[in-house]
Chains A and B, each alone.
Chain A
Amino acid sequence: MDKITIGNNVRRLRFDRNEMTQQDLAEQVGVTRQTIVAIEKGKYYPSLEVAFRIALVFSVPLEEVFYVEG
């Protein structure tokens, strides 16, 4: 099975929400700020639950937050 790379629009979505801070997003999602940093940098792929929580915070579908690169 080929490995896929998952990209995300978390940084842009935060920017669109009046520059929501990473700390604010982390608190609303229920994770640490470091985890949001790692997700934004693409170093950590969150669980499905956290992915949906992020999408719920931004009120967008999951595929608008995360996508398959390439």
Chain B
Amino acid sequence: MSYHERRAIVSVLSNVLATGLYTAFMMQRYPQADAYAPEIFHFWGAFFLILIPVSIVARVVVHIIFSILNTIATHEMEPALTDERDKLIELKAARIALYVFAIGTMLAMGTLVVGMPPAAMFAVLICAGVGSDMVSEIVQFVLYRRGF
């Protein structure tokens, strides 16, 4: 298994773990209010704004830890070079992830159309974000596994 394949697996797991822990932490602070109360929208706004730096920091920390552990375990250094094939794989993965997120966004809007509470819309948006990120990593894993 190559460095990129291992990194993709670690990214998927760390992404799920970081978002899951953050969601569990934040849900303890979920306001006890009417589904359409301003507090609910304030909560979800804060949820998204804090999620972004949290996921960036988690990603950087996991990447550093992974690089160190990978070098110790395999004696293989992180590739210093990103060539045209790596970039094409990233682009393909990003395109598919964008489709997933677009579908998720439409589903989120659909929850409002069918009269579900705003919390459902925000939950679907979070799932779309996490899902698209996971799909991106999985596509990269598959493409690296296959060769391209």
Residue numbers of A with Cβ under 8 A of B are: 30-32, 34-35, 37-38, 41, 43-44, 46-47, 50
CB <8 Å contact, B85 and A44: yes
A43 to B147, CA, bound (A): 6
> Is residue B146 within 8 Å, beta carbon to beta carbon, of the partner chain?
yes
Residue numbers of B with Cβ under 8 A of A are: 2, 4, 79, 81, 83-86, 144, 146-148
A47 to B87, CA, bound (A): 12
A42 to B148, CA, bound (A): 10
The majority secondary structure among interface residues of chain A is: loop
CB <8 Å contact, B147 and A44: yes
Contacts of A43 in B (CB 8 A): 146-148
A46 to B85, CA, bound (A): 8
CB distance from A12 to the nearest CB of B (A): 19
Q: Which of these, A32, A38, A44, contacts B81 with CB under 8 Å? A: A32
The 8 closest A-B pairs by CB, nearest first: A43-B147, A44-B148, A38-B147, A31-B83, A35-B85, A43-B148, A38-B148, A32-B83
A44 to B148, CA, bound (A): 6
10 residue pairs from A and B, CB less than 8 Å apart: A30-B81, A31-B84, A31-B85, A32-B85, A34-B4, A35-B83, A35-B84, A43-B146, A46-B85, A50-B83
Contacts of A47 in B (CB 8 A): 84
Contacts A34-B147, A38-B148, A50-B84 known; list 12 others, CB within 8 Å.
Answer: A31-B85, A32-B81, A34-B4, A35-B84, A35-B86, A41-B147, A43-B146, A43-B147, A43-B148, A44-B85, A44-B148, A46-B84
A35 to B143, CA, bound (A): 12
Contacts of A46 in B (CB 8 A): 84-85
CB <8 Å contact, B85 and A30: no
Contacts of B86 in A (CB 8 A): 32, 35
Contacts of A41 in B (CB 8 A): 147
Contacts of B2 in A (CB 8 A): 34
A46 to B146, CA, bound (A): 16
Contacts of A34 in B (CB 8 A): 2, 4, 85, 144, 147
